[in-house]
Amino acid sequence: MPVGTQTLLPRQGHRLLQVGIALVLFSSFEGFVIPQMASPRIGLSVHTLGAIESIFLLVQGLLWPRLELGVVTARVAFWCSIYSALAILAAYFVAAVLGVGVDTIALNGRLPGGLSEGSALQEAAIRLIAYSSAPTGTVCFTLVLWGLRHAEPNREGRHTP
């Protein structure tokens, strides 16, 4: 592992754990306001998605120090992970609060407590935020897989070449 990443990867892993716990708190508190949202059905989706994203980031935070990545690659993967998790959550949250976004979040649209069609600007904003999470997530997952490319760790948890 390059010298620069010996401290970077554990620090980033710790930050992923912090963001994961923050999302647990967000999901917990968001659950209390679901009935007041313009779309309670999508509010419930935000609650569930926040919990799933928090678990994902917690697992990723535990895995992160084991990756074999360079400094630049680690930074790209880290920020893509954070952005991807928060962007999709933000898109659903905005849709739930405003009650619009049926063009993008079509699975729950037109249901009781679902979504209606918003203005062109609202729909475009939700679409842009939601769709931007996919490529960044894909970049992160690809780099994490690349970082796990070497042999099994030894007893101390270090990778052997």
Whole-prediction pTM value?
Answer: 0.85
d(CA 54, CA 112): 28
pLDDT of residue 64: 95
pLDDT of residue 108: 47
pLDDT of residue 41: 86
pLDDT of residue 159: 55
pLDDT of residue 114: 64
**Contact (CB, 8 A) for 117 and 123:** yes
Full DSSP string of 7-28 = HHHHHHHHHHHHHHHHHHHHHH
Q: Could you count the other beta carbons within 10 Å of the beta carbon of residue 157?
A: 8
Full DSSP string of 54-69 = HHHHHHHHHHGGG---
Those residues of the chain that have pLDDT short of 50 are 108-109
pLDDT of residue 109: 45
pLDDT of residue 117: 74
